[in-house]
Amino acid sequence: MRHYLKHAFFLLLAWLTLSCSADNAQTLEGRVTGIADGDTLTVLDATRKSHKIRLLGIDAPERGQAFGEKSRQSLAKLAYRQQVSVDWQGRDSYGRILGRVRVAAADCRQGSCPRTVDANLEQVRLGLAWWNKKFADTQFPGDAGAYESAEGEARAARAGLWSERNPVPPWRWRYANRNEADKVRP
């Protein structure tokens, strides 16, 4: 029973955190200093404060999972050591900022290029992350439709993880790889 209450508390906390509206959006500017996986990175702001960012609206394969390392490498290619803008509106249950990361186009040669590329969307478009439809209502206006469309195109093109016959979504992979004592059955 205690385990159930603990799980229910974290679900409630996550729901409250994710239910922030886009009206409360903020922007964080900084340089990407670390890439944890295909949907998590670290940004150092102008005050030299470090922020963990969880890419909003997507879920990338885990490191031990098929395409996990390719997804991480793709995000690194897009954003590592780049100046980024992070539009965000809340935090997850781990305290990470939930945000849309914008970077300059790779072919931009100017010193201060506009940050017009949505890294979250790029990961989905390349077939290296799932659009996380479970949290579509927490995305910025228009993003859910764009991410859904990008996933459909990646599936049709059999890009990245969609080249596998039956790719396993990371939320299922994480559940299957937990200790039996940690699994909560619905």
Round to the nearest angstrom and report the end-to-end CA distance of the chain: 13
Residue from 29, 31, 48, 54 carrying the catalytic annotation = 54
* Distances 111 to 48, 82, 101 between C-alpha atoms, Å: 21, 12, 19
What DSSP state is assigned to residue 78? H
Residue from 72, 91, 96, 125 carrying the catalytic annotation = 96
Q: How far is CA 52 from the centre of its chain?
A: 11
CA Rg value for the chain: 17
Task: Answer for the pair 89, 141: CB distance below 8 angstroms, yes or no.
Answer: no
Sequence-distant (≥ 6) Cβ neighbours of residue 119 within 8 angstroms: 55, 75, 78, 79, 84, 100, 101, 102, 103
Distance CA 34, CA 52 (A): 9
Active site residue 164: no
Residue from 2, 29, 48, 62 carrying the catalytic annotation = 62
Active site residues: 54, 62, 96
